[in-house]
Amino acid sequence: MRFPRSSGVLVHPTSFPSRYGMGDLGNEAKRFIDFLVETDMSIWQVLPLGPTGYGNSPYASYSAFAGNHYFISLDALVEKGLLEVSEVQKAVVPVTNRVNYESSYGNKNDLYRLASERFYKNISDEDAQKLEQFKESNKFWLDDYCLFIACSKLNERKPWNQWEPELAQRKKRAMSAFKKKNIDEIRYQTWLQFEFFNQWYSLKEYANEKGVRIIGDIPIFVDHNSADVWANPKYFEVDKQGNRKLVAGVPPDYFSATGQLWGNPLYKWKLLEKDQYSWWVERFRQMFELYDAIRVDHFRGFDAYWEVDAAETTAINGTWVDGPGKKLFNAIKKQLGELPIIAEDLGVMTPSVEKLRDTFQFPGMKILQFAFDSDSGNAFLPHNYSRNCVVYTGTHDNDTTIGWYNSAPDEEKHRAREYTRSDGSEIHWDLIRLGMLSVADQAIFPLQDIMDLDDKHRMNIPGTVVNNWIWRYKEDMLNSVDKERLRHLVYLSNRK
């Protein structure tokens, strides 16, 4: 579908300032939304909001449906009377430009449990009814997720295929006994999800009332060590013991000479088709409730995906296999109606991928940092855009624009200066201006570029597992952004 001509900012909630070690869904999130309003921008794009596992990657989650409970605002719990100011003061850590996951997790765990106990002990009839409504509307995934986390914690966070076989294979007697023995933990995990979604929907309402749309992100694949695979092994390429057989990745590309071996178990698309893609329908149903639009990561995988044997150590030795194509999106559209989807169509695209994207009028992505490594026919140069696309200076996988320019080959720098008619001293603003004035329906920029930041503030380096997802800003950094410059670009480009 087509989106209105508009502009916005890409930033993940972990990057918000906070007294508690990492960003959350509290007042600083609202302050960022206010910043968008002050600059006449109307889009906030986030990364996946699911509970993260090893490495804290938003793209490696314990669930495709659950929320990351560490985003629950402690200050909001104080406002609800579930925590005392003196109690949350103990969780305060120094504010830096790096997320302090270890301290944040450790400090919050005890406070969340205390808030949960008080919630259940003093639950009102109204809250009890809301909780039951939440459980009913999320029954497709909620019970399985809470049980999975309880099992995982008991098993020292080992992958589920390393649990005792009766639980790993979900034997009824073992499952029933575990539920009875761990009812308090399951109730606690249920409250965490209840509170996360309450806070998220409240924040989304705040944004929407101010004219800000939120774009979410849905990874095509799910993590092997997730409630999704554990609860639905028939849909994934795992054996009877839960071990992976075929996994996902991409062949060698711009980011990596050996490709990227993601390790996610591949789908059994034929079985999913027989079930009218019900698991995917429910996944998209929830995403459309959480967000106003969603970016579908690795869109190419729906047309054809890179299949690698689970025994391989790199993604070099793999093969392309046909995906579900338009059958999947037709099934979703039949159930859910219009699909507000952005297709992440980066990398080497084939005519069949482009046809799939265009059949449903999904806008693709244009990355300005990719525009200057070849001649004037480069598809990422603005004069080659169609209107139905989204232009970025870079994404979470790219360096900041200043960082990219500083490390680019001289010829690439020359092309960038020539195209922007500049000396390169403000290359990030030059590219923001290019994106704004382009015909692309939507123009979205990482907050780091708007803040004039270099490579020390990069969010992620694909193919690596350390020092990623840790960037965040301090309050004064947002206050010092040149808002008038942004407003003027919005006005010039008719994106208001």
Which sequence positions are flagged as catalytic? Answer: 297, 344, 397
The stretches of 292-426 forming alpha helices (DSSP H) are 300-303, 326-336, 351-359, 401-407, 410-420
Q: Which residues of 457-478 are buried (b: 16+ CB within 10 A; e: fewer)?
A: bbbbbeeeeeebbbbbbeeebb
Q: Which helix (H) or strand (E) holds 293?
A: strand 293-296
CA-derived radius of gyration, the chain = 23
| Under 8 Å between Cβ of 393 and 445 | yes
Report d(CA 124, CA 154) in Å as an integer: 31
Cα separation of 14 and 70, whole Å? 9
Sign of CA dihedral 314, 315, 319, 325: positive
Specify which residues 260 forms β-bridges with.
Answer: 250
Q: For residue 79, give both structure tokens.
A: 């406002």
Contact in structure between 343 and 357 (CB atoms under 8 Å): yes
**Using CB atoms within 10 A of its CB, is residue 183 exposed (0-12), middle (13-18) or buried (19+)?**
exposed
**Cα(80)–Cα(202) distance, rounded to whole angstroms?**
13
Q: Which helix (H) or strand (E) holds 320?
A: strand 319-322
Distance CA 120, CA 280 (A): 33
